Structure 1
Amino acid sequence: MDLNTITEVVRRPSERPGADWHDGDAWLAGGTWLYSAEQPDLRRLIDLTALPWEPVVPTDDGLEIGATCTIRDLYAFPWPRDWTAAILFRKSCEAFLSSFKVWNAATVGGNICMSLPAGPMITLTVALEARYELWAPDGSVRFVDALDFVTGDHRNVLAPGEILRRVTIPGYALRGRTAHRRFTLTRLGRSTVFLVGTQRRGASDLALTVTAGTTRPVRIAFDSLPDARTLRQSIDALPAGVWFADPNGTPDHRRHLTRHFAEEIRRELTAGDLA
């Protein structure tokens, strides 16, 4: 779609691109959503893809993902063999309702900052206990847990002019055990629910991440694997307003699917099967 209100595109921003942020600006990374809808309030685009941000960087402490990393690059990265949770990267990339063309342009940071319930990069990073590094226009930096970043449907904690710089995932999460379940109305459709269960290596805990069926990510944590009744009660105790409603499912439908798949995940991790 043509954005006929845009009067300027900053092709080579500074290393701190928010320093001259003003109303009417928008960050441009892949642009796969930005160009898909009218943007009548925008006047200027700041192209982040010109910045030399490394897409995927393994470190001694885990993994860093640059905000401008494309879905294609994330999917193609050769994960170390001992990163048993690496399957979640592929499954989350495959959860995009998109073509290969979108994969080549859409970015990890863009999907997170869109903050839609079905955003699979949100599912991935919340499940793996990631932290987000945020840059403010005044040069300050803050860190936010992935779980706390999205506050509702298309809402997050970003202040005006603030930017997501990178995602950091700890090594212990990458080496943990996982199980996942995803439901869509059609084979290539948008996620109605997307659940991930994680367990630290050598432990018997359970962290259940619930997304797509809720307006914001939800994590239900147990020090040891719960029984079926306890798990169901924990899901039923979630606030009624957290369940999402759209053409892909009602809140009751999504709550039902969450109960069902959560029990499958519990059984899988109890049996010791690696996902």
Structure 2
Amino acid sequence: MDLNTITEVVRRPPDRPGLDWREGDAWLAGGTFLFSAEQPSLRRLIDLTSLGWDPLVPSDTGLEIGATCTIRDLYAFEPPRDWTAGPLFATGCEAFLSSFKVWNSATVGGNICLSLPAGPMITLTVALQAGYELWAPDGSIRVVDALDFVTGNNRNILAPGELLRRIRIPASALRKRTVHRRFALTHLGRSTVFLIGTQTPGTNDLLLTVTAGTTRPVRIAFDSIPDARTLQHSIDVIPADHWFADPNGTPDHRRHLTKHFTEEIRHELMAGGPA
């Protein structure tokens, strides 16, 4: 879609963009959402892709994902063999359910900052206990838990002019066993619920991430795998106003699916599979 209110595009911003931030600005990465709808409040786009941020930087401490990393590049990434959670990268990309044209342009950071309940990059990074590095216009940097970034449907903690620079996933999370469940009304539809359970090697713990069915991610932690009743209760206590309603599912439907799939995740982790 043509954005007929835009009067300027900054193609080569400084290495620390944001110092010249003003009302009516927007960060431009893949632009797959930005150009999909009218943006009447915008006057200027600041192109982040020209900054050349490294898309993926694996190390002994974990993985750094540049905010402008495309979904295509993340899908093609081959993690080290001891990162047993590595298959979640492909799982998250496939939950995007979009054409290769979108994968070639859409970015990990863009999906996170759009902050929709069904954003699969949010699911992925919250489940892997990531931290988000945020850059403010005044030059300050803060790192926040991925869990705390999204505050509601299409809402997050970014202040005006603040941007997501990178996502940091610790190696300890990448070495966990994982089980996931996702439900959509159609084979290629938007997620109604998307759940991931992780378990630390050599332990009986459980970290459950609930997304898509809720307006913001929910993380539930147990030191040891709970019994069915305790696990079901942990879903029951999610506040009623956290459950999302749209054409893909009512809050009651999403709560029912979440309780059903969490029990499957519990059983699968207790049985020892998959990695």
State if a TM-score over 0.5 links the two structures.
yes
Q: Which residue of 1 aligns with 2:202?
A: 202
SS in structure 2 at match of 1:104:
helix
The whole-number CA distance in structure 1 between the counterparts of 2:142 and 2:239 is 29
**1:19-38 aligned within 5 A:** 19-38=19-38
> Do structure 1's residue 74 and structure 2's residue 74 form an aligned pair?
yes
SS in structure 1 at match of 2:265:
helix
The whole-number CA distance in structure 1 between the counterparts of 2:97 and 2:155 is 20
Q: Which amino acid counterpart does residue 17 of structure 2 have in structure 1?
A: P
- Per-residue CA deviation, residues 66-106 of structure 1 (Å, 9 max, x unaligned), is 00000000000111111110111100000013110000000
The whole-number CA distance in structure 1 between the counterparts of 2:60 and 2:256 is 41
The whole-number CA distance in structure 1 between the counterparts of 2:194 and 2:48 is 29
> Do structure 1's residue 238 and structure 2's residue 238 form an aligned pair?
yes
Q: Which residue of 1 aligns with 2:173?
A: 173
- Per-residue CA deviation, residues 227-267 of structure 1 (Å, 9 max, x unaligned), is 11100011001100000000000000000000000000000
SS in structure 2 at match of 1:3:
coil
Q: Which residue of 2 aligns with 1:43?
A: 43
The whole-number CA distance in structure 2 between the counterparts of 1:97 and 1:177 is 24
For residue 60 of structure 1, report the CA deviation from its aligned partner: 1.8
SS in structure 1 at match of 2:85:
helix
- Per-residue CA deviation, residues 30-68 of structure 1 (Å, 9 max, x unaligned), is 000000000000000000000120000001210000000
Q: Where in structure 2 are there 5+ consecutive unaligned residues?
A: none
- Per-residue CA deviation, residues 90-139 of structure 1 (Å, 9 max, x unaligned), is 00000013110000000000000000000000000000000000000000
Q: Which residue of 2 aligns with 1:104?
A: 104
The whole-number CA distance in structure 1 between the counterparts of 2:203 and 2:134 is 32
> Do structure 1's residue 162 and structure 2's residue 162 form an aligned pair?
yes
> Do structure 1's residue 55 and structure 2's residue 55 form an aligned pair?
yes
**1:131-142 aligned within 5 A:** 131-142=131-142
* Percent identity of paired positions between Structure 1 and Structure 2: 79
The whole-number CA distance in structure 2 between the counterparts of 1:186 and 1:81 is 33
The whole-number CA distance in structure 2 between the counterparts of 1:52 and 1:192 is 35
Count of aligned pairs between the two proteins = 275
For residue 203 of structure 1, report the CA deviation from its aligned partner: 1.1
SS in structure 2 at match of 1:125:
helix
The whole-number CA distance in structure 1 between the counterparts of 2:203 and 2:57 is 27
The whole-number CA distance in structure 2 between the counterparts of 1:178 and 1:78 is 17
Q: Which residue of 1 aligns with 2:255?
A: 255
SS in structure 2 at match of 1:123:
helix
For residue 274 of structure 1, report the CA deviation from its aligned partner: 1.6
The whole-number CA distance in structure 2 between the counterparts of 1:178 and 1:208 is 10
Q: Which residue of 2 aligns with 1:229?
A: 229
Q: Which amino acid counterpart does residue 185 of structure 1 have in structure 2?
A: L
Q: Which amino acid counterpart does residue 255 of structure 2 have in structure 1?
A: R
For residue 271 of structure 1, report the CA deviation from its aligned partner: 0.4
Dislocated runs of 4+, deviation >4 Å: none
Q: Which residue of 2 aligns with 1:14?
A: 14
The whole-number CA distance in structure 2 between the counterparts of 1:85 and 1:97 is 21
The whole-number CA distance in structure 2 between the counterparts of 1:243 and 1:64 is 31
The whole-number CA distance in structure 1 between the counterparts of 2:175 and 2:226 is 22
- Per-residue CA deviation, residues 195-244 of structure 1 (Å, 9 max, x unaligned), is 00001111110010000000000001100000111000110011000000
